[in-house]
Amino acid sequence: MPATLFLPPAAYGAFVRHSGLATRIDALTGSLRDGMRWEEIWDVSLKLRNFFLRQPVPPELAEAVLVDGFRGEVLLGPQE
């Protein structure tokens, strides 16, 4: 079994807001529609995956999750 990490929903939300990914995700998923070919859906999913892979995790969030255990008290600057 590969090593895994449970990321609490509040930590995920903090990351998405802090990184500005929320706007990019909304714009990309807005292009989804019924009747899309699987290749089009695959393309959207790869773009979403790459959004996350290319975005660094803020050090304060990484520490909160990995060292302290995340309890939602970490605020990551201005929310977008």
pLDDT digits (tens, 9 = 90+) for 21-57: 989 988 888 888 888 888 988 998 999 999 999 999 8
Any domain includes 32:
yes
pLDDT of residue 80: 47
CB 36 within 8 A of CB 43: no
- Exposure class string for 2-19: b at 16+ Cβ within 10 A, else e: eeeeeeeeebeebbbbbb
pLDDT of residue 49: 92
> Where is pLDDT greater, at 73 or 62?
62
Structural domain span for residue 56: 9-68
Any domain includes 41:
yes
Percent of the chain's residues with pLDDT above 90: 16
pTM: 0.66
Any domain includes 1:
no
* Residue that is written with structure tokens 């590969």 in the block: 2
Any domain includes 75:
no
Task: Report how many domains make up the chain.
Answer: 1
Any domain includes 19:
yes
pLDDT of residue 65: 79
